[in-house]
Amino acid sequence: MRMASAAKAARNKDEGEGAAAAAAPAKGRSPLLLMLGCTVLAAAMSGGVSWFVVSHHAPAPAADGAAKDGADDKDKEKDKAPQPAVYLDLNPAFVVNLADEETTRFLQVEVQLMARDPKVIEAAKNNLPRIRNALIMLFSQQHSRDLSTRESKENLQKQALEEVQKALQGEHAPDAIEALYFTSFVMQ
């Protein structure tokens, strides 16, 4: 009987622990379910935010011709973004006699052309003799007293750019030279 009562006590003890164990997960399930619910909610929210951001920033598929034109306009704007500058060094330096009557003076100028389209630079290379001739004629008409200030040099720079553009236009070549730079300017 002792064995029977010991077995019964052990069984009651196991049942008590089982009941306590069954009660413990019930208490433990609530925070577990809460954490699981928060995780699912967070995943749903991040998915919704991702969808919203992607759908509002991605280009919409064109349904008709008008919408396609809008997409083409955006492509054109990207194409109109400034290209990097391309330079052409007009070597050798220009050396001319200035138009001073009282004394012999020389002007030595190194010139570079700038454009954004390599085709324009290529056109300038192809027409280099005509460009150099136009610039030599312009530089040789200058007087030393007229080239003493920054403003007068900037004016000469502007005139030189116009001469280059005219020379290219005369050959029906692309004339989109944007700037002309003096990289050296010496008068003697």
pLDDT of the chain, 188 residues: tens digit per residue: 455 555 555 555 555 555 454 445 555 566 666 666 666 656 666 665 555 555 555 455 555 555 455 555 555 655 677 789 999 999 999 999 999 888 999 999 999 999 999 999 999 999 999 999 999 999 999 999 999 899 999 999 999 999 999 999 998 888 889 999 999 999 98
Q: How many domains does the chain have?
A: 2
- Do both 95 and 161 map to the same domain? yes
Q: For residue 175, what pLDDT is reported?
A: 82
Q: How many residues does the chain have?
A: 188
- Which among 28, 60, 79 is the end of a domain? 79
Amino acid letter, 70: G
Residues 30, 118 share a domain: no
Residue 95: which CATH number? 3.30.479.30
Range of the domain at 110: 86-187
In this structure, the answer to whether residues 91 and 62 fall within a common structural domain is: no
Q: Where a domain ends, among 58, 79, 100?
A: 79
